[in-house]
Amino acid sequence: ARGKELGEAFVGSLTMGAGQFCTNPGLVIAVKGEALDGFVEAAAEAVKGAGAQTMLTPGIHDAYTQGVNTLGGSDKAREVARGPQGDGPNQCQAGLFVAKASDFLNDEALQAEVFGSTSLVVECADLDEVKALAEGLEGQLTATLQMDDGDIDAARGLLPILERRAGRVMANGWPTGVEVCHAMVHGGPYPATSDSRTTSVGSAAIHRFLRPVCYQNLPDALLPQALKDGNPLNVSRLVDGKRES
């Protein structure tokens, strides 16, 4: 229903910061058909108009170039668009490729992340194949559902899978927008993060730098303020399993 709009917005997210946002939408999974063809066509035109951008380091640029060349050299991926080349060093040339779901599932090279402004669109025969592909994904930072009201049932079927595959699940947005707030979770199952119990963005990120310490039989004078008898900091705490404030 919104193929042209989605295609253009997708490429805007894909090419932001030369595609070096860790939540960059490098993988699109959809059911093949005229609607997907319209999305790909709009995205391809946007890629062709996306100017090259300088990447942060020569190493990042070299890895990006190798990843794009792997896609370009695969007989299972079809290049549909490339952006203009840049004149300076470490220039990221945007790209868009398409592959079949069956080929994607059976080729680890297609599954490898390309860190930069290149994305792979995976064509699925039907919603069952979308689910199968989602089940086969490794841990991700984000998963986005582009949907209308009529897609609720399909989304409901996908959601339990995406919850296990990604740390942040969103609808009708783009993952490169990250707000530092109490609700933000920036992480996910391995290898998206080394510890999925915490986040690297948001107020809960402090837990990444904390570890428990047991103070056994220490006199009150040596205990941290939060643990002293009488609760001098007047904080909410558990004492013998019971809440005290």
pLDDT digits over 134-183, tens only? Answer: 999 999 999 999 999 999 999 999 999 999 999 999 999 999 988 889 98
Give the CA-trace dihedral at 87, 110, 176, 81, to 10 degrees: 40
User: What are residue 244's DSSP bridge partners?
Assistant: 237
Q: What does the pLDDT look like over 42-87, one tens digit per residue?
A: 999 999 999 999 999 999 999 999 999 999 999 999 999 999 999 9
Question: pLDDT value at position 195?
Answer: 83
Q: pLDDT tens for residues 204-229?
A: 898 888 899 999 999 999 999 999 99
Average pLDDT (26-39) is: 97
Q: Which residue has the tokens 């391995």?
A: 190
The CATH classification of domain 3-137, taken from the options 3.65.10.10, 3.40.309.10, 3.50.50.60, 3.30.470.20: 3.40.309.10
Concatenating the DSSP letter of every residue in 197-240 gives: TS-SSSGGGGGGG-------S--GGGS-GGGSTT-TT---EEET
Q: How far apart are CA 234 and CA 83, in angstroms?
A: 60
Q: What's residue 207's pLDDT? A: 87
State mean pLDDT over 112-119: 96
Identify the residue whose tokens are 């989605």. 6
Report pLDDT for 158: 96
Calculate mean pLDDT across residues 1-28. Answer: 96
* pTM, rounded to two decimals: 0.88
